[in-house]
Structure 1
């Protein structure tokens, strides 16, 4: 029996919203260290572009408002890993380290054939760089 594909099947994830502990540190991390393009920033929101992907970073107060009446999880919710595809994991990892970003895992080959490395933003959100196949 075939399962009918829903309307999200052809959609793309183009944005993620992260709740942060320190908005100025997050702005510095994403724009100054990662080189993301700042699209918007105020005292509660940051919106940056990394390639074709938008990252919105909000304060805890704003985050609670976005998910109300549901509660936010405990910080630093290391339950998700966001991946950025790159051409050369080793050179990007070296660049990240040069920016003062600590790698949580050094570049390595994964059993499924992809070379990856991981790091975290100031609020503990996990990021992975993965070599394009």
Structure 2
């Protein structure tokens, strides 16, 4: 039996802000862009991993959800409490410099962790934490 990761979902409050960050800054390719009932899902992924995708979705992808629930999810997203993605890179320092130069919000500068990896962390335009390790 084999199990592989296919997709993960990240809530974003504004696709027009998130898309340039994931596409232009991180270098992910856009694979799909779907709208339904005033909502939007954009699928992006690394060019060298065609079977792995990140879906940028609305904070609460339920058109029938009460307004209070949508507001609560948006507030949690803005505080960075919802999701995180860990990326692997062959040069964490160069990755850090590129993302910082593009205006990425730094959470942690490159650091040698006691468990053997060098990593750094940023927030995306919606507040999600993204870690990059080498």
Q: TM-score range by the shorter chain?
A: 0.7 to 0.9
Structure 1 residues 59 and 80: alpha-carbon distance in aligned structure 2, compared to 1, 3 A threshold: closer
Structure 1 residues 27 and 79: alpha-carbon distance in aligned structure 2, compared to 1, 3 A threshold: closer
Give the length in aligned residue pairs: 118
The CA deviation at 1:105 is 0.3
1:47 aligns with 2:43: yes
The 1-side partners of 2:26 and 2:100 are apart by: 11
Residue number in structure 1 paired with 2:121: 118
Residue number in structure 2 paired with 1:75: 77
Q: Which runs of 5+ in 2 are unaligned?
A: 64-68
Q: Which runs of 5+ in 1 are unaligned?
A: 1-6, 66-70
The 2-side partners of 1:98 and 1:75 are apart by: 24
The 1-side partners of 2:85 and 2:132 are apart by: 9
Residue number in structure 2 paired with 1:103: 106
Offset from partner CA, 1:37-86 (integer Å, 9 cap, x none): 0111244111111242311011235x236xxxxx7753234254311111
Q: SS where residue 108 of structure 1 aligns?
A: strand
Q: What value does the CA root-mean-square deviation take over the aligned residues? A: 2.3
TM-score by length of 1: 0.76
Greater Cα radius of gyration, structure 1 or 2: 1
TM-score by length of 2: 0.75
